[in-house]
A and B are shown apart, each in its own frame.
Chain A
Amino acid sequence: MSAVTTSRPRVGRSGAPRSDSPRSRAIREPLVSRTSAMLIMAVFTVYFLLPLWWLLVASSKSTGDILTTNPLWFADMRLFSNIGDLFAYRDGIFLRWLGNSLLYAGLGGAVATLLAAMAGYALAKYRFPGREIIFDVVLGGVLVPATALALPLFLIFSQVQLTNTFWAVFLPSLVSPFGVYLARIFAASSVPDELLEASRLDGAGEIRTFFTVSLRLMSPALVTMFLFQFVAIWNNFFLPLIMLRSEELFPVVFGLYGWNNQLNQIPELRGLVLIGALLSVIPLIVIFLLLQRFWRNGLGTGALK
């Protein structure tokens, strides 16, 4: 690395009493690279956290102060009264939206994870004709963006009169081709055939083996799949936009978008949109922090064995 070679003469010129032994260099080099790495990471951290900081600050202001005071520092602290206003607005429709989102993303993510785990496990552990073709089709599904499927889904759901219902957003959320892919890869590497052999010899059926043995071995992958799917459903905007018309079914992201659209008629909404956006990212942060521990744990134990 050129940074290291050029740094050596500079040390000499500064006149510091310092031996040029390989040992002291070994300590210095990581220090330089560590500092620069930390610096780069610090810059990126600021870059990613600044919008969140702005959101937090803006959420704590009154509607008038948002535009007129320093955008990166608090003015009049009104965070809690803003939250109160948000929950009271239109008979608490925001809480309803938040609940909808949790239901769509939580339940949808859980069922999607289970289905994908079963499919991936079957593709990894059972030999049957057409296995590779099925897997290829699923892989193809990864390549098709969900947005492109929204309109065909709308037409299909129209045929069975399910548009503008809970199911219109929930059912499409249960499908996760990427999860199937991940589950297959993970099942192939982390569930030993010998273990399955053993549990079969002990008299466990295939389904029992799957739920008591394989699923546990696959749990790190399951957490990852759940996280991905949860975030994907939570942030899904296009499907609700096309499917839903009744306000009481909206997920929170779409509901806030609607409010943001009405700013011109009702300027007070600006504050509510901001505080609503802040509250709507909290579940994502919480679920990441909680599940990340399991996720890392699982990967770690697997690596040690």
Chain B
Amino acid sequence: MKNRILTATAGVALSALLLAGCAGGGNGDSAGSGAAAAADCAPSDGPVTLEFTSWIPGIEKVVDMWNSANPDIQVKVQTGPNGNNGTYQNFFNQIAAGNAPDLGQIEYDALPNFLVQDCVENIAGCADVMAAKDQFVGWAWNQATLGQDNAVYGIPQDIGPMALFYRKDLFEKNGIAIPTTWDEYTEAAKKVRALGGYITNFSQSDINQFAGFVWQAGGQWFGNDSDGWTVSLTDPASKKVADYWQSLIDQDLVSTYPAWTDEWNNAYNSSKVWTWNSAVWGANSISSGAPDTAGGWAVADLPQWKAGDAVSGNWGGSSIAVLKGSTHAYEATKFALWLNTSQEALTALNEEANIYPATTEGLKLPSLAKGVDFYGGQKIYDVFAKAATEVTPDFTWGPTMTKTYADVSDGFKAAVSGSGTLADALQKGQDATIGALESQSIPVKK
């Protein structure tokens, strides 16, 4: 799942009505230091009914499979809008009011927020959780442990490894080689521009896409240990990525349409923009947004910083967490593990809602082995399965990502319209994020 910067009025209203902190217990100690004691994971007596909130369309069909096989652990699906559009705030409110669901879907970049507010259970002590570790793609598991030993805050559900979507037909027709490095990408961009097109669109609002580039370049925006959080939006890798895109913007080699608008769709649909560095779920975004270009697309590895390397980034993905206050952590964990590791559930999730699994076995699902017509019959998921294993393992998100995204996005918008640079925007985001953390009394290491 990708999450977007909230622009909806609902989002604005939500942040105004923030109910901070979770009433699940004394959150004074664990808030900030970012470590929670493991949940008590004893099985309950008798049959249990779990509540599970997710915004995945069609997930109830998958849950029905579980329910018919497990009469003693029944799961009731509840739904709501995408996390940042309301469901996260609902979780916080519900936990404070003591009626939260047992399980909730939480994207990786939102998990630290739930952790510092003490709103998720540490399920490391639950049966089978640690044993399941090896089934998952290594870095995805790290996203759920937040880099801590003996802690697991959610079961990874899906991931968004990144690759290069490109217009194979146009590249071939004009004799332009498919770029394998970012330098070649710039060269190709110049040729595409000479033909009147743009090689790609730089999104001012998808900061998590930019974070994916930084992730690939080996950057590290946040760090967390017992002394507190480190913030490094301006580390050398981030600067390198920012300068790279800044130079493309300065030379007018990329378009700057606001992403996810009709204008943006139309730019792709009318072949004005030729490539998109995006995550695996982007395959659907293109086919729905640019239907006229069917058959012309293909997928290649993300361009590299050093020729011969094989490193990818990640954009999006979520986990299933046991929310604070659940009295059925044992059963909830059992269900979450089934949902995200069993072949039947992953197949159903993939067919119902295009969920791209986070387990190594899941990457080989038969439904992912087929050629896709929109991409000229290419088996595009093979590229993503390879990319999934090439993502740098230890990128960490911070506890105030919504705010960080908004601040950096403001700066990016300014940079695109000519005032300041992307690097300036990161510096502003860095300062604002430290301010936001300190205002919530979250310890920051400088």
The answer to whether B284 and A245 touch across the interface, beta carbons within 8 angstroms, is: no
Complex partner residue of A68 from B51, B90, B101, B292, CB under 8 angstroms: B292
Which residue on chain B has the smallest CB distance to residue A68? B292
> What's the dominant secondary structure at chain A's contact region?
helix
**Chain B hits for A258, CB < 8 A:** 55, 79-81
* C-alpha gap A164/B77 in the complex (Å): 13
B289 in the interface, Cβ–Cβ < 8 Å? Answer: yes
**Chain A hits for B10, CB < 8 A:** 237-238, 241
**A158 touching B97 in the complex, CB below 8 Å, given contacts A64-B291, A68-B292, A148-B17:** yes
**Chain A hits for B200, CB < 8 A:** none
Among the stretches A2-10, A259-267, A278-286, the one at the interface with B is A259-267
A229 in the interface, Cβ–Cβ < 8 Å? Answer: no
B368 smallest CB distance to A (angstroms): 15
* C-alpha gap A63/B58 in the complex (Å): 20
**Chain A hits for B204, CB < 8 A:** none
**A264 touching B284 in the complex, CB below 8 Å, given contacts A68-B291, A241-B10, A241-B81:** yes
B271 smallest CB distance to A (angstroms): 12
Q: How many residues of A contact B (CB 8 A)?
A: 33
Which residue on chain A has the smallest CB distance to residue B289? A67
A132 smallest CB distance to B (angstroms): 32
B122 in the interface, Cβ–Cβ < 8 Å? Answer: no
B99 in the interface, Cβ–Cβ < 8 Å? Answer: yes
Q: Give the number of A-B contacts (CB < 8 Å).
A: 88
Q: Which residues of B in the span 253-289 have a Cβ within 8 Å of any Cβ on A?
A: 262, 265-266, 269, 281, 284-285, 287-289
B325 smallest CB distance to A (angstroms): 12
Q: How many residues of B contact A (CB 8 A)?
A: 42
A151 in the interface, Cβ–Cβ < 8 Å? Answer: yes
Complex partner residue of A257 from B81, B262, B288, CB under 8 angstroms: B81
Q: Which residues of B in the span 94-137 have a Cβ within 8 Å of any Cβ on A?
A: 94, 96-99, 101
Cβ contacts A to B, 20 pairs, < 8 Å? A63-B288, A158-B99, A237-B10, A242-B90, A245-B51, A245-B53, A258-B55, A258-B79, A261-B81, A261-B85, A262-B55, A263-B288, A264-B2, A264-B281, A265-B281, A265-B353, A265-B354, A266-B353, A267-B288, A270-B288
Residues of A near any B CB (own CB < 8 A) = 63-64, 67-68, 147-148, 150-151, 154-155, 158-159, 161, 163-164, 237-238, 241-242, 245-247, 257-258, 261-267, 269-270
Q: Which 4 A-B pairs have the closest CB atoms?
A: A267-B288, A158-B97, A245-B78, A64-B291
